[in-house]
Structure 1
Amino acid sequence: MLKVNTENLRKSHQLIWFTIDFLMLGLLIINLAFIIFDSVYGFEIIQNGLGSISPSINEFYQPIHRNFIVYDLMFVAVFLTEFVVRWGYAVKARVYARWYFYPFIHWYDIVGCIPVGSFRFLRVLRVISIIYRLHQYKVIDFTQTRLFKFISFYYDAFLEELSDRIVIKVLSGVQEELQRGSPLFDRIQQDILHPRREMISNWLSQRVAEAAQEGYVPNRGALRSYLENRVDNALKQNLELSRLKFLPVVGPTIQETLEECVGDIVANVIHQILEDLATSSNHAFIEDIVNVFLPFPEEQNKEGENVQNEALISLLNEIIEAIKTQVRVKHWREELP
């Protein structure tokens, strides 16, 4: 239900103008109802039906219908008077930079006053402008009405469905262009990816370092124990190494020493790799990987270029598919009761 905020009405210091707005709003609603009724009454079947139901009402309204333009002009006279008064106030208060700006900005008020045919129904625009002005000053809040919520919900749903279909259509077209080997792929590679190689390398380097710090550093002890156990089990299953224990005197000692050394070496190597990845020293390594995927044109041969292009096209296709999957999600359905 639409409620009037009387406190904001008093604070606005425009009580007189808002009172006029409410009066004009009431007159506009009455006038539009009058126009709609007279338009419907213009059909002969309606006149005959009303005459059979209530001849007195039909007889009373017949002269009004014949002189409808006269009665409508009475409303127009009131609307034009109110328009001129507001125009005079705008000039006096210097609301706009030029005195003649007002009728251009409020053109819908003038057009709605034309008492000819369908122009009359443009008075709906004036109703909307009054309601919007009252809403802007927080005198009323039509966003809390059931009608507004109903219209807003289905309007958003319509826009989401429409935009989703358009976006999916565009993305599918991009995929087709990539598969056909259009200049789009070359522009993506040459104009977008290559100039940003350093940025991509820095971003990947930072992400890898963060992942290594968060995933490895807190669990280095557990990872080392796991690696040593796995290496120890693998060495015990090695047939050649197991034969060392048959050497007299030193065989078991050599076997045990080798197992410890290999396990320690593997754990240290993995530890050093992850330590390097967790710091800024991984940048050169990441940069080499980026160079493999995005080599400079002069560094490519034809065969390598085709393979890399196919890999990059496949990567771009997967990214676009992921975007399309997300676009297909209907968020408005989640808001349904």
Structure 2
Amino acid sequence: MLKINRENLKSSHQLTWFIIDFVMLGLLILNLALIIWDSIYNFVAVQNLLKDYAPVIQELYHPIHERFIFYDLIFVSIFLGEFVLRWGYSIKARVYDRWYFYPFIHWYDLVGCIPVGSLRFLRVLRIISIIYRLHQYKIIDFTSTRLYRFVIFYYEAFMEELSDRIVLKVLSGVQDEVKRGSPLFERIQHDILFPRREMLSDWLSERVAQAAKQGYIPNRGALRVYLENRVDHALKQNLELSRLKYLPVVGPTIQDTLENAVGDIVANVVHQILDDLASSTNHAFIEDIVNVFLPEPGEGLTEEGEKEALITLILEVIDAIKDQVHVKHWRENLP
């Protein structure tokens, strides 16, 4: 049920205009109801039906039907008066940059006032604009109504069905292009990615350095302890090294010295690698990796089997996307 927020209505500085909105809303609904009824009454069969079963109603309304244009013009005069009043207010308040912008922006108000056939039903747009304005100022909240929830549910269902069909059509077209050996992916590699290898290398180098600084440097000590413990454990599991302790006098000393040296070497090597990644010197390493993934034009996939495997992979990825598109999320909200 549509409720009016009286607190916002009283606290607003446009109380007079909101009252006018409510009056115009009532007149528009009444006017459209009369237009619809008169359109129905225009059928001879309806008139004869009323003569037979409700002659009083027929006798009372028939004179109005014959002069309906006159009664409609009464409503039109009120609508035009309100339109001119708002136009004058917009000029005074400088709502728009030019004084003549108002009738162009609110063209449906003027066109709906033409008392000719289907043009009169454009007054529905005026009802929508008033309701939207009241909703925008939080005087009413039509999103809480059952009608709105009903309409928006089926609107979203329709849009999801429509968008799914479009996406499936596009993906099927992409699959056909790939099966026919479309040069699209080679163009992406050679014309788009390859000319930007340097930019990609710089970006990846910066990201790797930042990740290494944030993840490695604060945990340098803990990482060293972990590496030394793992190396020490691995060396103790080694049979050849464990035999050194059986050497007389110097065996245990040699074993301990060797374990410490290996642990220290491994820890220093790992630390040096991570230090290099965390500094600007990682650029050459990252550039080599980018060059492997983006070789010079003509150095791409040469084996026919590799091309077929790549095409199969792309088709399977697109099939997985299509399967996900087939999922109808709107059905999950059905009662």
For Structure 1 versus Structure 2, the TM-score category normalised by the shorter chain is: 0.7 to 0.9
- C-alpha displacement of 1:313: 3.8
- C-alpha displacement of 1:151: 0.7
Quote the residue 1:147 is aligned against. 147
Task: Tell me the alpha carbon deviations over residues 251-299 of structure 1, each in whole angstroms, 9 at most, x when there is no partner.
Answer: xxxxxxxxxxxxxxxxxx99999999999998766655554443111xx
Residue pairs, 1:288-303, within 5 angstroms: 288=288, 290-297=290-297, 300=298
Quote the residue 1:165 is aligned against. 165
Quote the residue 2:321 is aligned against. 323
Quote the residue 2:8 is aligned against. 8
Cα distance, 1:7–1:331 mapped onto 2, change above 3 Å: same
Cα distance, 1:274–1:100 mapped onto 2, change above 3 Å: closer
Residue pairs, 1:229-268, within 5 angstroms: none
- C-alpha displacement of 1:137: 0.9
Quote the residue 1:61 is aligned against. 61
- Check the 8 A contact 1:171/1:324 in 2, yes or no: yes
Cα distance, 1:198–1:220 mapped onto 2, change above 3 Å: farther
- Check the 8 A contact 1:209/1:279 in 2, yes or no: yes
Residue pairs, 1:77-88, within 5 angstroms: 77-88=77-88
Alignment of 1:333 onto 2:335: no
Counterpart amino acid of 2:325?
A: V
1:304 aligns to what SS in structure 2? Answer: coil
Cα distance, 1:324–1:196 mapped onto 2, change above 3 Å: farther
- C-alpha displacement of 1:22: 0.3
- C-alpha displacement of 1:71: 0.9
Q: In 2, distance between residues paired with 1:6 and 1:173? A: 56
Quote the residue 1:107 is aligned against. 107
Q: In 2, distance between residues paired with 1:188 and 1:57? A: 75
Alignment of 1:75 onto 2:75: yes
Quote the residue 2:186 is aligned against. 186
Q: In 1, distance between residues paired with 2:133 and 2:54? A: 42
TM-score when normalising by structure 2: 0.75
Counterpart amino acid of 1:317?
A: L
Residue pairs, 1:198-277, within 5 angstroms: none
- C-alpha displacement of 1:69: 0.7
- Check the 8 A contact 1:38/1:65 in 2, yes or no: yes
Quote the residue 2:35 is aligned against. 35
Deviates more, 1:3-12 or 1:204-213: 204-213
Cα distance, 1:232–1:169 mapped onto 2, change above 3 Å: farther
TM-score when normalising by structure 1: 0.74
User: How large is the RMSD of aligned CA atoms in angstroms?
Assistant: 4.3
Counterpart amino acid of 1:7?
A: E
- C-alpha displacement of 1:156: 1.0
Q: In 1, distance between residues paired with 2:30 and 2:178? A: 61
**Unpaired runs of at least 5, structure 2:** 240-268
Q: In 2, distance between residues paired with 1:159 and 1:191? A: 36
Quote the residue 1:304 is aligned against. 302
- Check the 8 A contact 1:5/1:140 in 2, yes or no: yes
Task: Tell me the alpha carbon deviations over residues 36-67 of structure 1, each in whole angstroms, 9 at most, x when there is no partner.
Answer: 00100111111111111111111111111111
Deviates more, 1:312-321 or 1:26-35: 312-321
- C-alpha displacement of 1:98: 1.7
Q: In 2, distance between residues paired with 1:201 and 1:319? A: 27
- C-alpha displacement of 1:9: 1.2
Q: In 2, distance between residues paired with 1:232 and 1:320? A: 51
Counterpart amino acid of 1:328?
A: H
Cα distance, 1:55–1:121 mapped onto 2, change above 3 Å: same
- C-alpha displacement of 1:10: 1.9
Task: Tell me the alpha carbon deviations over residues 160-188 of structure 1, each in whole angstroms, 9 at most, x when there is no partner.
Answer: 11111111211221222122223423321
Q: In 2, distance between residues paired with 1:71 and 1:336? A: 46
Deviates more, 1:274-283 or 1:9-18: 274-283
Q: Tell me the number of residue pairs that the alignment of Structure 1 and Structure 2 aligns.
A: 331
- C-alpha displacement of 1:326: 3.3
Quote the residue 1:242 is aligned against. none
- Check the 8 A contact 2:112/2:119 in 1, yes or no: yes
- C-alpha displacement of 1:117: 0.6
**Unpaired runs of at least 5, structure 1:** 237-268
- Check the 8 A contact 2:301/2:307 in 1, yes or no: no
Cα distance, 1:314–1:188 mapped onto 2, change above 3 Å: farther
Q: In 2, distance between residues paired with 1:314 and 1:231? A: 46
Cα distance, 1:230–1:202 mapped onto 2, change above 3 Å: farther
Cα distance, 1:99–1:275 mapped onto 2, change above 3 Å: closer
Cα distance, 1:58–1:89 mapped onto 2, change above 3 Å: same
